[in-house]
Structure 1
């Protein structure tokens, strides 16, 4: 695995503090995002049950909020998780997925990939909810369904990370990811499961934004030349 752009490998520091500093320095977006989620999780954890429910619904990117506050709801919903006790799990996932992708493709490309996937998956999944409501398959109360969290961005990062791994680990990882996100789609899928699938596909489609694509293009023989 090649070192991240613009810096030495994180493991080359002289001590643990140096290694941690290098890791955070080369994935600033991941750790700023994680810090904000930590703060909002503390807010939810310390709030009363009524206030917590209000905040969770108010910051959701559900149909009601998208109609009332489209841009703020899309942005704010990506900084909250419904269960604060899950924060440590999300922190691990951020380090494994987001940090590795950000270090590899760069902060701005990482942000474009995961931000675009979050927006697209949210809009598509809520459109499915709307169609189900109009078709009388879901109650109208689903316009206020809780739809917050960072899982769509994580799904997109999981897709991109496929190209970071060398064979044969790439194929083992790919199968594991497809199984993880595919099983819910075949066993009573929810709108969230469809959103995860959409975000994962967008992660796979982000191949041209990765350094691996640039390396592959450079390795191709020029037109008119034999390989």
Structure 2
């Protein structure tokens, strides 16, 4: 059967879904954890307790000063979006971060680089972009570019890590599509911005752009390393699990 026919494509899609847990066990487990946490917070937990939990794991300045480890790790266990309001911008963000970033790009990274390295990229993007954004916020507060209320702002979820993976996945698309893909990765965080509070966009937009920069830097490093290994006749680096 020709894989390019509709029936062949459907067969290939069903095979990919059926083998997904086996081929990408880390990603599958993480997605299940995210979905379970989302349902628990949004539907099962009392509204005041859910709000208190979100406030506690938000990676804002006050929380990072008071309980940095809990905020950084707890923030990576929920996604800030919706699964039901399909006409909202929040659902679009869910499709990009959870759908493309985690379900697709993390799974690709896991298969190509191994589970440990894929997890390192996810956490490195999440923590690295958060900490660099914190430095930007402190600088902006010193110059009056952000209001003081940003210290207690709600900011949790997986989107920085997902953004890093989206940028890294530039390596996974055909060469002719790499520039459009990179443009999409950079442009989507800017698409929902309203008025800038000063010379900088909202701090979450800054965080997404920084996360993308981390992912692009890693992609360039991987590409250069692979090119050097080919030139030396060593072949590709083996994946680690």
Q: Structure 1 length normalisation: TM-score?
A: 0.78
- Alpha-carbon distance between aligned partners in 2 of 1:186 and 1:57, rounded to the nearest angstrom: 23
Q: Which residue of structure 2 lines up, in the alignment, with residue 150 of structure 1?
A: 158
Structure 1 residue 67 displacement after superposition? 0.8
Query: Residues 73-118 of structure 1, C-alpha deviation per residue, up to 9 Å, x if partnerless?
Result: 1111111123443496354222222212222222111111221111
- Alpha-carbon distance between aligned partners in 2 of 1:197 and 1:22, rounded to the nearest angstrom: 33
Q: Which residue of structure 2 lines up, in the alignment, with residue 126 of structure 1?
A: 134
CA contact (8 A) 2:20 2:28 kept: no
- Alpha-carbon distance between aligned partners in 1 of 2:113 and 2:130, rounded to the nearest angstrom: 24
CA contact (8 A) 1:129 1:138 kept: yes
1:173 corresponds to 2:184: no
Query: Residues 145-183 of structure 1, C-alpha deviation per residue, up to 9 Å, x if partnerless?
Result: 111011101110111111122221223322332333466
Q: Which residue of structure 1 lines up, in the alignment, with residue 99 of structure 2?
A: 92
CA contact (8 A) 1:109 1:209 kept: no
Q: Which residue of structure 2 lines up, in the alignment, with residue 79 of structure 1?
A: 77
- Alpha-carbon distance between aligned partners in 2 of 1:176 and 1:136, rounded to the nearest angstrom: 31
Task: List gaps (5 residues or longer) in structure 1.
Answer: 1-10, 223-227
Question: How many residues end up aligned between the 2 structures?
Answer: 209
Match of 1:218 among 208, 225, 229: 229
- Alpha-carbon distance between aligned partners in 1 of 2:160 and 2:122, rounded to the nearest angstrom: 8
Q: Which residue of structure 2 lines up, in the alignment, with residue 200 of structure 1?
A: 212
1:33-112 mapped onto 2 (5 Å cutoff): 33-46=30-43, 47-85=45-83, 86=91, 89=95, 90-93=97-100, 94-112=102-120
CA contact (8 A) 1:159 1:203 kept: yes
Give the alignment's Cα RMSD to 1 decimal.
2.9
Question: Aligned with 1:168: secondary structure?
Answer: helix
Query: Residues 23-68 of structure 1, C-alpha deviation per residue, up to 9 Å, x if partnerless?
Result: 2222222222212211221122123332221111011111111111
Question: Aligned with 1:79: secondary structure?
Answer: coil
Q: Structure 2 length normalisation: TM-score?
A: 0.74
